[in-house]
């Protein structure tokens, strides 16, 4: 983008090279076997990617939303699964600790998370609370110097393999009584439940977190009791902007593969790119991708410049994700179509792009929820709530 700084461009180069060297060689097999590229996190640590938004004085790279987004675009173009795990680690866990943790909490957790020695995750969703995040039921009851936490979290990226989780739980009966806790895998009463087999993002482990009267010291509570909603929602906004980068990356790769194929594959005596039906799919894909790219980086830049008030930021983030996610699914489907029979085999990456892209319309806020967020900003809460 025209407003990328020199630092952004260098970062882009670095991540592109990292993705090519460390992610590309393994993704096909990991996707097939539902594995995880653990080693890549140590390398990301070395490159300073894991604490990308954390302040330098806390050991982070001190970079911005644009930097995080372009990192996800470059990684997502090669291996969307690992990028998703990276997002859960870096934005949903590390960024939150960096922004909201006490000095003590930061000191205890950030060094190992930023080096890659630990893998982080975040626990919000539950079996009965997906889109209705505030309907969560996991309960933390204060008992003197510790909380006892009971409940189940689901759809947790890095759930099966994470070392530490940034978890939300109810500390009161009101929907808004939500608090945040740093959960170590080792604590008593904590276990990871089932691991999901998924359509795509198969090299990003997804599982359940089970809390059975877990003893969590009060010192592990992040921020004040019952005060987490604002921090939770704010981070969802940043997550939506940056996760759009993954959609952009997937789409970009799909377009590249389809374009190359259209020049090389011959039928009826000519390259198939000579046929207008193929051109229509490619050009529409490319134009929509450009539009989403502009929208996403615009949202990231405005975030970094502090140009948007709270709800405006939520709306921009929602628009960026809503468009980018839908665009990536459609572009990936069209890329498969252009590659015909070959596109349907696992010999070419486009079928994986489609399987990976679809999740982006669901996780981190479904298309439907994002539309409600935008509607609230455009029409006002009174109008939107009158519909229920």
Partner 1 sequence: MNFGETAVQKELRDLTRRFVQKELTSIVEEDERVERFRPELIQKLGELGLTGIPLPEAYGGAGLGYLEYTTVIEELAAGNTGYAISVSVTGLTQIILNLFGTPAQKEKYIPSLASGKAIGAFSLSEAGSGSDAGSLRTSAKREGDHYIVNGTKLWCTQGDLANTVILLARTGEPGAKGISAFVIEKGMPGFRYGKREKKMGWNTSHTVELIFEQVKVPASNLVGKLGDGFKIAMTALDSGRITIGATAVGIARAALNTAISHSQQRQQFGKPISAFQGVSFMLADMAVQLDAAQLMVQRAAWLKDNSLPHSHEAAMAKLFATDMAMKVTTDAVQILGGSGYTQDFPVERYMREAKALQIVEGTNQIQRHIIGRNLTQVSHSS
Residue of 239, 256, 264, 290 marked catalytic: 239
| Beta carbon nearer to partner 1, 155 or 165 | 155
Backbone angles phi, psi at 181, to 5 degrees: -135, 145
Asked if 92 is part of the footprint of partner 1 (rule: CB under 8 A), the reply reads no
Q: Could you tell me the smallest distance in angstroms from the CB atom of residue 356 to partner 1? A: 11
Annotate each residue in 225-264 with x if it binds partner 1 (CB under 8 A) or - if it does not, as one string: ----------------------------------------
Q: How far apart are CA 146 and CA 152, in angstroms?
A: 19
Asked if 199 is part of the footprint of partner 1 (rule: CB under 8 A), the reply reads yes
Q: Could you tell me the smallest distance in angstroms from the CB atom of residue 362 to partner 1? A: 6
Task: Tell me if residue 292 falls in helix, strand or coil.
Answer: helix
User: Which residues are CB-contacts of 182 (< 8 A; sequence separation ≥ 6)?
Assistant: 97, 101, 105, 109, 164, 165, 166, 167, 220, 222
User: Which residues are CB-contacts of 173 (< 8 A; sequence separation ≥ 6)?
Assistant: none
**In angstroms, how far apart are the furthest CA atoms of the chain?**
79
Q: How far apart are CA 203 and CA 253, in angstroms?
A: 18
Asked if 351 is part of the footprint of partner 1 (rule: CB under 8 A), the reply reads yes
Asked if 131 is part of the footprint of partner 1 (rule: CB under 8 A), the reply reads yes
**In this chain, which stretch among 55-63, 256-264, 361-369, 376-384 interacts with partner 1, using CB under 8 A?**
361-369
Asked if 29 is part of the footprint of partner 1 (rule: CB under 8 A), the reply reads no
Q: Could you tell me the smallest distance in angstroms from the CB atom of residue 40 to partner 1? A: 23
Q: Which of 144, 197, 306, 386 binds partner 1 (CB under 8 A)?
A: 197
Q: Which of 12, 105, 196, 286 binds partner 1 (CB under 8 A)?
A: 196
Q: How far apart are CA 73 and CA 11, in angstroms?
A: 12
| Beta carbon nearer to partner 1, 83 or 109 | 83
Which two three-digit tokens encode residue 41?
Answer: 């996190």
Any bridge partners for residue 152, and if so which?
210
Asked if 277 is part of the footprint of partner 1 (rule: CB under 8 A), the reply reads yes
| Beta carbon nearer to partner 1, 87 or 222 | 87
Asked if 221 is part of the footprint of partner 1 (rule: CB under 8 A), the reply reads no
Annotate each residue in 308-347 with x if it binds partner 1 (CB under 8 A) or - if it does not, as one string: ---------------------x---x--xx--xx-xxxxx
Q: Could you tell me the smallest distance in angstroms from the CB atom of residue 352 to partner 1? A: 8
Q: How far apart are CA 114 and CA 49, in angstroms?
A: 8
Q: Which of 125, 179, 235, 253 binds partner 1 (CB under 8 A)?
A: 125
**Triad 168, 173, 176: Cα angle to 5°:** 55
User: Which residues are CB-contacts of 103 (< 8 A; sequence separation ≥ 6)?
Assistant: none
Task: Tell me if residue 102 falls in helix, strand or coil.
Answer: coil
For residue 82, how many other CB atoms are within 10 A of its CB? Answer: 26
User: Which residues are CB-contacts of 189 (< 8 A; sequence separation ≥ 6)?
Assistant: 149, 211, 212, 213, 214, 215
**In this chain, which stretch among 112-120, 199-207, 221-229, 312-320 interacts with partner 1, using CB under 8 A?**
199-207
**In this chain, which stretch among 56-64, 127-135, 213-221, 249-257 interacts with partner 1, using CB under 8 A?**
127-135
- Whether 104 sits among the annotated catalytic residues: the reply is no
Backbone angles phi, psi at 331, to 5 degrees: -65, -40
Q: How far apart are CA 181 and CA 220, in angstroms?
A: 6
Residues that bind partner 1 (CB under 8 A): 125, 128-132, 135, 154-155, 196-200, 206, 266-269, 275, 277-278, 329, 333, 336-337, 340-341, 343-347, 351, 354-355, 358-359, 361-363, 366-368, 371-372, 387-388
Which of the residues are catalytic?
239
């Amino acid at each position: 983008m025209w407003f990328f700084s020199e630092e952004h461009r260098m970062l882009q180069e670095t991540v592109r090279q990292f993705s090519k060297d460390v992610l590309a060689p393994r993704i096909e097999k990991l996707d097939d076997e539902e594995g995880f590229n653990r080693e890549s996190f140590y390398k990301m640590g070395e490159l300073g990617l894991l604490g990308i938004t954390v302040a330098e004085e806390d050991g982070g790279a001190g970079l911005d939303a644009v930097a995080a987004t372009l990192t996800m675009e470059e990684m997502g173009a090669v291996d969307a699964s690992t990028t998703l795990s990276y997002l859960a680690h870096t934005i949903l866990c590390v960024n939150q600790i960096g922004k909201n943790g006490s000095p003590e909490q930061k000191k205890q957790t950030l060094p190992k998370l930023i080096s890659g020695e630990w893998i982080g995750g975040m626990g919000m969703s539950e079996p009965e609370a997906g889109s209705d995040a505030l309907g969560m039921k996991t309960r933390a009851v204060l008992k003197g110097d510790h909380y006892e936490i009971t409940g189940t979290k689901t759809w947790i990226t890095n759930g099966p393999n994470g070392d530490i989780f940034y978890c939300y739980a109810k500390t009161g009966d009101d929907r808004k009584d939500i608090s945040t806790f740093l959960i170590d895998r080792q604590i008593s009463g904590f276990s990871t439940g089932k691991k999901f087999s998924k359509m795509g993002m198969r090299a990003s482990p997804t599982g359940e977190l089970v809390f059975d009267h877990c003893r969590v010291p009060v010192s592990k509570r992040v921020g004040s009791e019952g005060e987490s909603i604002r921090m939770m929602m704010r981070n969802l906004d940043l997550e939506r902007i940056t996760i759009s980068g993954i959609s952009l990356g997937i789409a970009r790769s799909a377009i590249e593969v389809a374009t190359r194929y259209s020049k090389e594959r011959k039928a009826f005596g000519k390259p198939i790119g000579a046929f207008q039906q193929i051109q229509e799919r490619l050009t529409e894909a490319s134009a929509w991708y450009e539009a989403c790219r502009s929208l996403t980086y615009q949202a990231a830049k405005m975030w970094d410049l502090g140009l948007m008030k709270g709800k405006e930021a939520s709306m921009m983030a929602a628009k960026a994700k809503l468009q980018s996610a839908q665009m990536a699914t459609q572009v990936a489907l069209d890329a498969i179509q252009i590659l015909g029979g070959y596109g349907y085999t696992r010999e070419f990456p486009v079928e994986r792009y489609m399987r990976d892209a679809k999740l982006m319309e669901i996780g981190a806020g479904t298309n439907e929820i994002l539309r409600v967020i935008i509607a609230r900003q455009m029409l006002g809460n009174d109008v939107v709530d009158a519909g229920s």
